[in-house]
Structure 1
Amino acid sequence: MSDLPGDHRSEFNFGRAESFVDLLSLDEIEQNIFRGTCHAGSPLRAFGGQVAAQALVAAGRTVTADRHVHSLHSYFLRPGRTTSPIIYLVDRVRDGRSFTTRRVSAVQNGETIFTLSASFKVPETTTEHQRTMPDVPRPEDLPGPYGSPPRKARENYGATQTRLVMDMRFVPQEHGQATRPNGGVPHTRVWMKAAEQLPDDPLLHVCALAYMSDLTLAGTAAAPHVTDPENLQMASLDHAMWFHRPFRADRWLLFAAESPTAQDARGFAIGEFYDHEGVLVAHAVQEAVIRQH
């Protein structure tokens, strides 16, 4: 696939980004070796969604443009730091007739902090089916807790970086956390998209969705158990995604998440992405450490 806009930065800014494209930007150091920086998800810890998205960028940049990513499986091994670059090492595992497989290791200060395997495929036209999108209010009918901020607000980075590049509109609790006939499980429903229009690069949109998918899953699993937010430990353990149909990450997508179980200090959550017309475009699954101290 072609290079993403914003590649080959001349200097590091350690997570500061003016746009979503900046968040996914990598320097190519050598064949199969890339370098990036990440903003904070919690104090001094790199946001896991950005690490996963950059690892997928690195994998995609070693794959021909006729193949699109259809799945990824990843593990968060160590906390990433926001104060030094992350090196992404790509292993070209297989190039088959229809499928291509890549494995990526994210290394920081000599230690592997994250691993990702991704599979790419030549598209085919076949019969299909999908689940119906939940009946929730449309994003244009909901207040936006944050969207595109004034440019002067971009001086405040770190944990607020996501607010600078995304628009998110949460569905009210009576819709977003309604119980189901099977006894009910914790739910969240949120519309999200990039705050600015993105270039027409399928890899960029898929990687942007990988970033977005790490925003609410762990929180959905933790919600029923949080008694003191100040003393909550929460960290992603693993993350998987399946990409079903084409989409744009700069147009409204409904992320419908639920947590069927939590136990042993681990919360499990599943999320579905639908576009504004109700087309099911992707799934995300995550397990996270959840401890209330």
Structure 2
Amino acid sequence: MPEVLVGQDAVDSLLGVLDLEQIDTGLFRGPRAEVGLQRVFGGQVAGQALVAAGRTVAGDRRVHSLHGYFVRPGDSTKPILYQVENIRDGRSFSVRRTVALQGGQTIFFMSASFHTGEPGLEHADPAPEGLPAPESIPPLSEQLRSHPDRLGMWARVPRPIDVRYIGGSGFSASGERPALEHQRVWMKADGKLPDDQLIHVCVLTYASDLTLLDSVLSRHGAVWGNGGYLGTSLDHALWFHRPFRFDEWTLYDAVSPTAADGRGLAQGRFFDANGLHLASATQEGLLRQTPEAPGIP
């Protein structure tokens, strides 16, 4: 098995994946990620789709929201085509629709809106207090050193995002994870990012899909894989409230207000280290119990 990329090498690899090739007006090709997984990671598709949309928007307009649906699993052995439709360029807003294609079929589609920004009302709920500093929490690979079989995909793919769970993660061994209403994770790019704000937003978009659905399991103390559940993202929405750098520590505070009919809803908020609310995320996912899993009350 090839050595797993970490740190700046992994970040540079992710930046390469997000560096799309423009092959025609509104048409881009996304390079495939060398991850050794059969399916394309949803955060990668969403991040690439946002890069494609952002490259068609002129001036200083920043993305403030995106709404996407995962339609089919992507094949990680093939590149993905991104077709961007210019829906509107107004005086202060631009709207784009991006469709991700493989083999002539849609695997993901997304609408994104860009805004110049303007003066107005401003407020924000405070960030959670009394949490341990990210540097005091071991990364997931160290937390699971005693259970290497639970590392799952983390043991096989590049790790451009440094993830520090506060409390147990969905990769804990079955029966060892406490049930928590809030799932809180410190995360950031595990290296330096360029100054381009669109890149920071796209890397956060990538990272937002890593742990959000885990908050549904957290309510029950449930885990992924054998002895737990398999999950698939169905849709994904993000709102970006303020500019930020995602190569600095960011708190991802997630909850799951409801789950039913095999689907779970997850909502998350991103805060910087000073407690400023940066972005919000919402996702619904399909969760199926594995044959080995015990009944979850």
Q: Compute the TM-score of the two structures, normalised by the length of structure 1.
A: 0.82
Q: Which residue of 2 aligns with 1:238?
A: 235
Q: Find the partner of 1:280 among 274, 277, 287.
A: 277
Q: Which residue of 2 aligns with 1:269?
A: 266
Deviation at 1:25, TM superposition (A): 1.6
Q: Deviations over 1:81-134 (max 9, x none)?
A: 101110000000000001100000000011100000000001112231101101
Q: Which residue of 2 aligns with 1:186?
A: 181
Q: Which residue of 2 aligns with 1:198?
A: 193
Q: Which residue of 2 aligns with 1:55?
A: 49
Unaligned stretches of 5+ in structure 2? Answer: 1-9, 143-152, 169-178, 291-297
Q: Which residue of 2 aligns with 1:219?
A: 214
C-alpha separation in 2, matches of 1:102 and 1:228: 35
Query: Equivalent residue of 2:164, what SS?
Result: strand
Deviation at 1:140, TM superposition (A): 2.1
C-alpha separation in 1, matches of 2:63 and 2:76: 27
Higher mean Cα deviation, 202-211 or 21-30?
Answer: 21-30
Q: Deviations over 1:127-148 (max 9, x none)?
A: 311011012112122222359x
* Number of aligned positions between the proteins: 258
Query: Equivalent residue of 1:23, what SS?
Result: helix
Q: Which residue of 2 aligns with 1:116?
A: 110
Query: Equivalent residue of 2:214, what SS?
Result: helix
C-alpha separation in 1, matches of 2:279 and 2:42: 19
Compared with structure 1, are the counterparts of its residues 162 and 186 closer, same or farther at alpha carbon in structure 2 (3 Å cutoff)? Answer: farther
Q: Which residue of 1 aligns with 2:251?
A: 254
Query: Equivalent residue of 2:202, what SS?
Result: helix
Query: Equivalent residue of 1:50, what SS?
Result: helix
C-alpha separation in 2, matches of 1:124 and 1:258: 31
% of aligned pairs identical? 48
Does the 8 Å CA contact 1:76/1:115 hold for their aligned counterparts? yes
Compared with structure 1, are the counterparts of its residues 108 and 17 closer, same or farther at alpha carbon in structure 2 (3 Å cutoff)? Answer: farther
Does 2:212 correspond to 1:229?
no
Deviation at 1:258, TM superposition (A): 0.5
C-alpha separation in 2, matches of 1:26 and 1:17: 16
Q: Find the partner of 2:204 among 209, 223, 226.
A: 209
Q: Compute the TM-score of the two structures, normalised by the length of structure 2.
A: 0.81
Does 2:127 correspond to 1:133?
yes
Quote the RMSD (CA, aligned, Å).
2.3
Unaligned stretches of 5+ in structure 1? Answer: 1-15, 148-157, 174-183
Does 2:14 correspond to 1:20?
yes
Q: Deviations over 1:238-279 (max 9, x none)?
A: 000000001001000000000011100001000000001110
